[in-house]
Amino acid sequence: MAETLEQSNHTSVQRRIESITADQDERVPVAKRRDNFLSPVAIDERSGEIGPCVSKTGKRCSDKGFLPMSLEDYLETLDWTARQIAPGKRGKTPADLPPVLKRLGLDTKTWCELVSDFGRLFCTVAGRPECVDPLRSHRTHRRYHLRRRARELLTQAD
């Protein structure tokens, strides 16, 4: 088990961190970055287009982000979450909530349940009810369904 995100082999977060480090070395071209097949993190749910954004490079499925936060906030959230879910881990858990959770409107209990039970809470799509409810499947044109508990967690987070 890795002690840090940087040491978590074969994960997308490790590749993203390596690319941040490579960005500081101007000799490494963007095309050679280890995370160039990963979708970007940041998305603007309120003003962004609905649906996929097919990659122009063909290196990944979509050029569209998947979370309403920056890469920095994403890494901070992953680090915080890892400390919460693995109590025996070295390092001190912050006494108060980090700013990113406050900005997302989530408390620690809600965030941990969303992360721990993600596969049970979400099926085809994941997101806040107000963003998912107006969407329809491109294939069947049916509305996407959010499970009741996911809806409860994300509604109380507002």
Sequential pLDDT tens for the chain (158 residues): 666 777 778 888 888 888 776 655 555 565 566 677 777 888 877 776 666 677 777 777 777 787 888 888 888 888 877 766 556 655 543 444 445 566 667 777 888 788 778 888 888 788 888 888 888 877 788 888 889 999 998 887 65
For the chain, the structural domain boundaries read: 1-82, 105-157
Residues 118 and 125: beta-carbon distance below 8 Å:
no
Task: Please give the model's pTM, rounded to 2 decimal places.
Answer: 0.51
